[in-house]
Amino acid sequence: MRVLVTGGAGFIGSHIVTALKARGHDPVVLDALLPAAHPGPPALPDAEFVRADVRDADAVRAALRGVDVVCHQAAMVGLGKDFADAPGYVGCNDLGTAVLLAEMAAAEVRRLVLAGSMVVYGEGRYTCERHGTVRPGPRRTDDLTVGRFEPRCPDCGAELVPGLVGEDAPMDPRNVYATTKLAQEHLAASWARCVEGRAVSLRYHNVYGPGMPRDTPYAGVASFFRSALARGESPRVFEDGAQRRDFVHVRDVASANVVALEAVGGAPAGTLTAYNTGSGDPHTVGEMASALASAYGGPAPVVTGEFRLGDVRHITADSARLREDLGWHPRVGFAEGMADFARAGQRASAGAVG
């Protein structure tokens, strides 16, 4: 199977290319190698390589020749620095996806696996003892400033119990990045309906592992902590460290992509199917920082009480659908994965696009 992997030189994309090669597939990498993400030449996988931006229709058209299925990873990632990043996110993520899908339609490539994200949900699933399942709104700045981090029941103000969020939960993106990731899914669903295509969105939870970019405001929290440790500094844990996340190793995410790429041809025509892609073993951010610091050899994390607007409190995955439909299972446990990440190298990074 010949697979076009956009963003295939990036953190997750490069692991997908390696996994595809191991399964006997023929990956083609399309990556702009923008200096913001690749300040120096990256180590490219042993695959055909096209240096081009996914927004370049001519380059995408050429790269699609002979391709059976597309694995779309190219994106600007993370929460970013401030709203000034909005045009960059929309251009890279949404315009780039629209150009890719238009060229796929013209080339009659009808299968797509998209790098989705759990950020499309906003807050995760919460239960109130009195009102059952509820959806709290965005947290208020005045609450966060005085350390009231936990969302409360919007009906009675009671404490809530966080749970696992499923793919059928309502969408509620809380920042620009999240909004662009949801727009990518809507574009892919429209493409599928128009051309009788088949699409899968893998909604990644907190991906970490070897090759994460370092020292960038656009990476995930695991990268922030690992970068601090490499500088000899304590990881700075925001809020009180009790935020719950699902940390999933990049090798497991790569294997999920390979499984989805092999199975997407059997999906119903004209549809997009979303799958949560998580470890199924939630941990707090504080637990992750402690495990990583311990495996690295210190220094210990510092809980700061700081916060970022747009962050959500708890978001953890129910990945049962991916396991049941496609037979995928994560293989890297939390302790093993953090020990692996603590020893692994990070890629140099100057900024934003991966």
Active site members: 177
Q: How far apart are CA 244 and CA 242, in angstroms?
A: 6
User: Among 343, 258, 333, 287, which residue's Cα sits nearest to residue 12?
Assistant: 258
Q: How far apart are CA 82 and CA 80, in angstroms?
A: 6
User: Could you tell me the CA-to-CA distances from 265 to 1, 35, 101, 109, 223 in Å, in that order?
Assistant: 11, 35, 17, 11, 34
Please name the residue that has the structure tokens 């005085």: 146
Q: Which residue blocks in the chain are alpha helix, DSSP H?
A: 11-22, 57-63, 86-89, 96-107, 141-145, 176-195, 221-230, 250-263, 285-296, 320-326, 334-343
Q: How far apart are CA 162 and CA 55, in angstroms?
A: 39
In sequence order, what are the residues at sequence separation of 6 or more whose Cβ sits closer than 8 angstroms to the Cβ of residue 332? 209, 249, 251, 252, 279, 340
Token output for 59: 């380059």
Sign of CA dihedral 299, 304, 306, 312: positive
* H or E stretch covering 312: none
Q: Cα 226 from chain centroid? A: 18
User: Among 339, 340, 317, which residue's Cα sits nearest to residue 328?
Assistant: 317
